[in-house]
């Protein structure tokens, strides 16, 4: 029950943050206004340094994919 | 760790001697394929636990793994000002595993106690900045003693007219070969060479769709959906299952598996120095496994050239329908596994990353663009624990 509560809380926080911030409207951002969006930390993909982390998680857990761990290939047996 | 760092530094020094930059401060766009970036990722991983699948869900899961990946990216612009990107990577993992050593229960440091995996991949893409389109293709391979994999993928992407949204579609195919290395007591008596194991196929077909959208100057989000179908031998031949009567069997899982992961990612630049990165994934498959993953990371720019990124990830999953603990299953179950990675558990992954990217380069070396170190502690509620430390050196 504890894990479900933690998960629900985290999901609620994520949804709250996304919806609250989205509520400030979806505006067209010009190229010259993208300084913050172009920051290396703002990338929506995984960074190189996370590659081996994602690899071990896809071995040690039953779920993978959707921009977090590869969907096939390799073994996963070690 | 020292060896990893020194080898990485050595490789980058050699590259520095020979490489030329793809672009300069004048904004000149090279028509020749020129080196843009080199990334070297090294990591050390260790784990402990007492539910090894090789020994039927009991026994040590102790494992150490060292990974080194070098990733080289080249760029050129053609006459139509389209950007061509060639990305090539080579990874080498070496691991030692206490449980793999027990494929032969009487062995002590047998041939299977350690292995090396080599995995090259290459991709080529063409981006038309005017039209907002990208097309690309890639090939990958992976080879270790008992497993070979060959993969291919095609990607197409299209930006919205205002260039604030992008839709991406990717199809991937992996054609794998599993060597049938059985637990030693279950092997048929043959007079052939011991290392000449038969192989069987495991194929994976995946379609990935994603859509990213800039919401405003500080926020962008992305949605991801994968449709994955696996066919062939999906068990691992050396995983033991002990039945209630004490008899030992091989793991046996269905020959097909359909997976559906759905995810959302949001990155928000809070003020001038803090970034909030959130990720949530829902996963389900037809083996009965349902999982939720929630991840939050908060890079804080202490100075323009140094940032600290604490992160936390929570993961929970239900067991597959075919999972059973040591000596709990019987012959009436056609499919059976005692692999605790497919059992019900939750896990916590907590750590931090430290990134240095000085204006004049790390250690004053102009092209030594950034250095990032990341540590994480991973713990499952079934007493499996792991630590991973990763290092990324970027040459640009």
Tens of pLDDT along B5-46? Answer: 555 555 555 455 444 444 444 566 778 889 999 999 999 999
Q: Virtual CA dihedral for B94, B98, B104, B109, nearest 10 degrees? A: 70
B194 pLDDT band (50/70/90 cuts)?
A: low
Distance, CA of B77 to CA of A26 (rounded, Å): 32
Residue A55 distance to chain B (closest CA, Å): 10
User: Residue B299 falls within a domain, yes or no?
Assistant: yes
Tell me: pLDDT of B241 over 70. yes
Say yes or no for a CB contact (<8 Å) between B289 and A68: no
Distance, CA of B184 to CA of B110 (rounded, Å): 12
Q: Pick from B263, B252, B242, B260: which is nearest to B321 by CA?
A: B252
Tell me: pLDDT of B191 over 60. no
Say yes or no for a CB contact (<8 Å) between A17 and B265: no
Say yes or no for a CB contact (<8 Å) between A78 and B162: no
Interface residue B219 vs chain A (CB under 8 A)? yes
B364: domain CATH number? Answer: 2.40.160
Q: Into how many domains does chain B fold?
A: 1
Phi-psi region of A71 (alpha: psi -120 to 50; beta: other; left: phi over 0): alpha
Q: Which two tokens stand for residue B107?
A: 């062995």
Nearest to B314 among A10, A29, A48 (CB): A10
Nearest to A28 among B162, B261, B289 (CB): B162
User: What ipTM was predicted for this assembly?
Assistant: 0.87
Q: Which two tokens stand for residue B355?
A: 């990134």
Distance, CA of B347 to CA of A27 (rounded, Å): 38
User: Residue B27 falls within a domain, yes or no?
Assistant: no
Q: Is the dihedral of CA B124, B211, A37, B356 positive or negative?
A: negative
User: Residue B294 falls within a domain, yes or no?
Assistant: yes
Q: Which helix (H) or strand (E) holds B100?
A: none
Residue A27 has a CB neighbour count (10 Å cut-off) of 13
- pLDDT, residue A20, reads 55
User: Residue B28 falls within a domain, yes or no?
Assistant: no
- pLDDT, residue B168, reads 97
- pLDDT, residue A1, reads 47
A56 → chain B, closest CA residue: B45
Q: Is the dihedral of CA B302, B304, B308, B313 positive or negative?
A: positive
Q: Which helix (H) or strand (E) holds B89?
A: strand B83-97
Of A54-58, A68-72, B32-36, B258-262, which gets the smallest average pLDDT?
A68-72
Nearest to A56 among B45, B97, B140 (CB): B45
In contact, B139 and B154? CB cutoff 8 Å: no
User: Residue B45 falls within a domain, yes or no?
Assistant: yes
Instruction: Tell me the residue range of the domain where B303 lies.
Output: 2-21+33-395
Say yes or no for a CB contact (<8 Å) between B390 and A52: yes
User: Residue B26 falls within a domain, yes or no?
Assistant: no
What's the DSSP call for residue B320?
Answer: P
Phi and psi angles of residue B219, each rounded to the nearest 5 degrees, phi first: -130, 135
User: Residue B175 falls within a domain, yes or no?
Assistant: yes
Q: Which two tokens stand for residue B329?
A: 């299953």
User: Residue B377 falls within a domain, yes or no?
Assistant: yes
């Amino acid at each position: 029950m504890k894990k479900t509560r933690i998960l629900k809380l985290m999901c609620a926080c994520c949804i709250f943050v996304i919806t609250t911030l989205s509520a400030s409207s979806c505006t067209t951002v010009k190229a010259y206004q993208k300084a913050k969006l172009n920051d290396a930390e703002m990338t929506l993909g995984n960074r190189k340094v996370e590659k081996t982390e994602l690899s071990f998680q896809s071995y040690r857990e039953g779920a993978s994919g959707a921009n977090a761990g590869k969907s096939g290939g390799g073994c996963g047996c070690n | 760790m020292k060896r990893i760092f020194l080898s990485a530094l050595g490789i980058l020094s050699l590259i520095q001697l020979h490489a030329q930059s793809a672009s300069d401060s004048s904004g000149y766009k090279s028509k020749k394929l020129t080196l843009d970036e080199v990334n070297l990722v090294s990591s050390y991983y260790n784990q402990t636990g007492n539910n090894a699948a090789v020994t039927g869900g009991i026994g040590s899961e102790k494992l150490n793994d060292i990974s080194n990946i070098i990733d080289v990216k080249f760029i050129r612009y053609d006459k139509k000002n389209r950007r061509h990107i060639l990305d090539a990577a080579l990874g080498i993992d070496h691991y030692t595993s206490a449980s793999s050593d027990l494929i032969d229960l009487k062995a002590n440091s047998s041939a299977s106690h350690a292995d090396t995996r080599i995995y090259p991949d290459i991709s080529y893409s063409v981006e038309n900045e005017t039209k907002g389109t990208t097309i690309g293709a890639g090939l990958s391979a992976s080879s270790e003693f008992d497993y070979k994999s060959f993969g291919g993928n095609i990607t197409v992407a299209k930006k919205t007219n205002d260039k604030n949204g992008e839709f991406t579609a990717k199809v991937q195919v992996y054609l794998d070969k599993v060597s049938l290395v059985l637990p030693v007591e279950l092997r048929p008596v043959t007079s052939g060479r011991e290392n000449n194991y038969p192989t069987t196929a495991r194929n994976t077909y995946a379609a990935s769709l994603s859509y990213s959208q800039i919401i405003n100057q500080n926020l962008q989000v992305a949605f991801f959906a994968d449709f994955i179908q696996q066919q062939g031998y999906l068990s691992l031949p050396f995983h033991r299952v002990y039945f209630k009567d004490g008899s030992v069997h091989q793991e046996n899982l269905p020959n097909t598996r359909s997976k559906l992961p759905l995810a959302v990612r949001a990155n928000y630049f809070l003020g001038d120095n803090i970034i909030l990165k959130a990720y949530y994934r829902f996963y389900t498959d037809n083996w009965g496994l349902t999982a939720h993953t929630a991840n939050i990371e908060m890079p804080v720019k202490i100075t323009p050239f140094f940032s600290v990124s604490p992160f936390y990830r929570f993961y929970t999953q239900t067991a597959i329908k075919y999972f059973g603990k040591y000596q709990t299953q019987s012959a009436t179950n056609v499919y059976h596994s005692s692999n605790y990675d497919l059992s019900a558990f939750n896990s916590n992954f907590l750590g931090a990353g430290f990134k240095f990217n000085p204006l004049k380069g790390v250690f004053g070396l102009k092209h030594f663009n950034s250095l990032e170190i990341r540590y994480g502690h991973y713990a499952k509620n079934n007493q499996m624990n792991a630590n991973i430390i990763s290092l990324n050196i970027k040459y640009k």
